[in-house]
Amino acid sequence: MEYNKQRSMLKVVLLMMIMMLASQSEAQLNRDFYKESCPSLFLVVRRVVKRAVAREPRMGASLLRLFFHDCFVNGCDGSLLLDDTPSFLGEKTSGPSNNSVRGFEVIDKIKFKIEKMCPGIVSCADILAITARDSVLLLGGPGWSVKLGRRDSTTANFAAANSGVIPSPISTLSNLINRFKAQGLSTRDMVALSGAHTFGRAKCVTFRNRIYNESNIDTSFAIARRKSCPSANGSGDNKEANLDVRSPDRFDHGYYKQLLSNKGLLTSDQVLFNNGPTDSLVIAYSNNLNAFYRDFARAMIKMGDISPLTGSKEISDSFPESSIVTGSIFYQVSERLLGQGTFAKVYYGRSILTNQSVAIKMIDKEKVMKVGLIEQIKREISVMRIARHPNVVELYEVMATKTRIYFVMEYCKGGELFNKVAKGKLKDDVAWKYFYQLINAVDFCHSREVYHRDIKPENLLLDDNENLKVSDFGLSALADCKRQDGLLHTTCGTPAYVAPEVINRKGYDGTKADIWSCGVVLFVLLAGYLPFHDSNLMEMYRKIGKADFKAPSWFAPEVRRLLCKMLDPNPETRITIAKIRESSWFRKGLHMKQKKMEKRVKEMNSVEAGAAGGSNENGAGPSENGAGPSENGDRVTEENQTDEPTNLNAFDLIALSAGFDLAGLFGDVFNKRESRFTSQKPASVIISKLEEVAQRLKLSIRKREAGLFKLERLKEGRKGILSMDAEIFQVTPTFHLVEVKKSNGDTLEYQKLVAEDLRPALSDIVWVWQDEKDEPASQRETEQQEQQEEEPL
């Protein structure tokens, strides 16, 4: 007896817990969920659905069916939209959905438009709910208040979709009642929702048995349907017929009137009126349109409450091979490290919902706070939110935990523009295209009072279609950064690309400074080398201050004129972007743009060393070793011949600070021509080790100056003699940075040498390689301990 009481009490407690959970889930859904974050959501969805239904009225039924199938399998979670992956089979190809559900392209179009307007905010599950309502409403049916706030599922359930949870077209009445009851829907709800068959179509294979073998069917109706649906299986299976003969393109109650006349097309339709318990509801709905509309709307709201995923799941700091969920966006993050620096790592990831590739930048919050860069992070976020433009790398979402900040950004598979320029000058039409896109992006940023301040080929990325994307706004400034004189005063940027007024530290106009940098970029694109270049930093600054450069002979006269105006050392008389657009070279390119932009950008031709060297009359071109624009600006060494390494100045620290460098947000790792490592050994020990390794690997030391070693193989490789530079930079007397960079020869041969020979040989002096996934052991252990202890914000 006591045992039975305990069991009864346990049942009551469990029932109360289930009811509480259900009410909590339901309470989290509300119509105003996106009122602040995406206020135009309903308008955008309505417009897309309206156009789709206007083109094809049947699409209304298809969109409604998507929502029905989605909710009945795993709950209203958007799982129906997921394609097959290596880890699961999607629900699209399940028996009930295959060749049945359609309209995915409409959902994709809505999602695309919403993401442009409200990136990372609205879930696909909520879009399905809104489109279902709008499809009914636009075809004359009732409206209802759609509750929102669902999260999207990260997985699908192919087995569940095939388990019979979705009623088949040959279902019996008891089967229908039980299937709907399992979803928390009443018999009245089931009959009302079946009224959705007042529009839409069905395939012959779903109603063949009814029109040939069932007796409770109007004879003339069956004969008419047989004309388009042969009796033999496999013959005409996909031929379609309207579910509602009289008004197939309107949402009304004609469906129920057909049932009264035994003209239900599907077996599962006619069982609703076949001397059973639901006959009275069919009669009521056939006589009272408003009663049908009322009950249908109520049933749709209830169906939308079937097991929604609500709330938000915080992201974890253990990024590799994990899924992160925030709001409505889900990302799968791989162990593929795209870039790494002092403060940040960038991983390759993808959106589970759209399969779109993304770059996820992970910033160590404690480190940036210690060095006072948290305001710079905030400014970078603000700038990237403001600067939404086709030629600017897009920031999709920002997330945070107790110790990490995460940027989810556009993934630029094409890599840096620098990689193309390093091969030599570009063709005029290709250079014009990139310059045109750069000017468009910079002009847009300036219109939003955003000044980049570090424009250079390393910060210009290329997407899959080789369209330019401006990146790395870590040094950018907003209008509110100006002082009372209306000018910016922070000296930053990469020396070879900065304007004279920035170097002079007297305050500068961010607009004019960016235009100068764009001029330097244009010169580099067309020449293949920098306009201002010297082994002595002060001499290079002198040349910049006087705009002392010489254009090569192949520059067209109109390009020379434009460059002289852009590289005007006087910011007051420097050309504006409006005038750049009016220049003859710019307009000439616009005239040819329509024709040339239709063709795929061809591979850039390499400039022969002699041709480039022939124009090097004033030292502005490549050095004797073929060095073009340096990947980190034009880092220089003193002219003495001592073994003392170069001290890093402020500009070098900025250029080498990969913590905010977005270079590496691309897929082709085989283009990498340099490696950097830090060492806690004295310079003398590093130099000795490099000499020892060079001897062991049979590399000759071709040239050595202040901290710079020129190493070269004795035998010729596939693309000539493989040579590389190893340069040592002193950060502090006991902390050095060493950069190894290929200067000649085959890239794959160089990478093999570094990976298989050089790295292992230098292991005893290396503290950490900058492009390595692993940090120093002590730091790695500390981070692992932090990850175990911390909780998400």
CATH number at residue 183: 1.10.420.10
What mean pLDDT comes out for the span 703-723? 74
User: Which residues carry a binding-site annotation for Ca(2+)?
Assistant: 70, 73, 75, 77, 79, 91, 198, 244, 252
Question: Looking at the domain assignment, is residue 546 inside a domain?
Answer: yes
pLDDT digits (tens, 9 = 90+) for 605-664: 343 333 334 333 333 333 333 333 333 333 333 333 445 566 554 444 444 444 334 333
Q: Which residues are annotated as a binding site for ATP?
A: 361
- CA-to-CA dists, residue 215 to 258, 610, 725, angstroms: 16, 92, 89
Is residue 123 included in any domain, yes or no?
yes
Rounded to whole angstroms, the Cα distance separating 621 from 614 reads 9
Please report whether residue 341 resides in a domain.
no
> Three-state SS for 404?
strand
What CATH number corresponds to the domain at position 697? 3.30.310.80
Instruction: Name the band, by pLDDT with cuts 50, 70 and 90, for residue 475.
Output: low
Together in a domain, 447 and 577: yes
Whether residue 377 is contained in a domain is answered as no
Q: 239 and 290 share a domain?
A: yes
Average pLDDT of the residues of the chain: 77
**Residue 578 resides in a domain:** yes
| Per-residue model confidence (pLDDT) at position 602 | 41
Same domain, 152 and 274: no
Residue 82 has pLDDT above 80, yes or no: yes
Q: Which residues are annotated as a binding site for substrate?
A: 167
Strands 646-647 and 201-203: unpaired
Mark whether 685 and 757 lie in a shared domain: yes
pLDDT of 242 = 93
SS3 704: strand
583 lies in the same domain as 536: yes
Q: Which of 583, 467, 447 is nearest to 519 (CA)?
A: 583
**Could you tell me if residue 209 is inside a domain?**
yes
Let me know whether 177 and 231 are in one domain. yes
Task: Place 109 in a pLDDT band, splitting at 50, 70 and 90.
Answer: very high
For the cut 70, the answer to whether the pLDDT of residue 457 exceeds it is yes
Helix then strand then coil, % of the chain, to nearest 5: 45, 15, 40
Within-domain flag for 320: no
- State how many domains the chain has: 5
Last residue in a domain, options 303, 331, 355: 303
- For residue 559, pLDDT beyond 50: yes
Annotated binding site: 70, 73, 75, 77, 79, 91, 167, 197-198, 244, 252, 361
Backbone angles phi, psi at 677, to 5 degrees: -140, 155
Residues 84 and 228 occupy one common structural domain: no
The residues annotated as belonging to the active site are 69
Q: What is the pLDDT of residue 625?
A: 32
Nearest to 167 by CA among 271, 239, 237, 254: 271
Does residue 776 register a pLDDT over 60?
A: no
**Alpha-carbon distance 131 to 108, whole Å?**
12
Residues 6+ apart with CB under 8 A from 13: none
pLDDT tens profile 405-442: 888 888 888 888 888 888 888 999 899 999 999 999 99
Residue 615 shares a structural domain with residue 747: no
Domain limits for position 119: 41-161
At residue 719 the predicted structure's pLDDT band, cuts being 50, 70 and 90, is low
Q: Within a domain: residue 383?
A: no
**Residues at the annotated binding site for heme b?**
197
435 and 571 co-located in one domain: yes
**Same domain, residue pair 480 and 455:** yes
Considering only residues 747 and 409, tell me which one the structure prediction assigns the higher pLDDT: 409
pLDDT in the model for residue 17: 40
At which of 303, 336, 353 does a domain end?
Answer: 303
The burial class, CB within 10 Å (0-12 / 13-18 / 19+), for 175 is middle
Same domain, 154 and 290: no
* CATH value at residue 68: 1.10.520.10
Tokens of 793: 């914000």
Ranges 241-245, 674-678, 739-743, most confident: 241-245
Residue where a domain terminates, one of 161, 182, 200 = 161
* Range scoring the smallest mean pLDDT among 164-178, 599-613, 699-713: 599-613
Give me the pLDDT at residue 338, please: 66
Average of pLDDT values for 365-390?
Answer: 76
Say if residue 448 is in the same domain as residue 588: yes
Q: Where are the alpha helices (DSSP H) in 199-351?
A: 204-213, 219-226, 254-260, 267-270, 279-287, 289-303
Q: Determine the pLDDT at residue 783.
A: 42
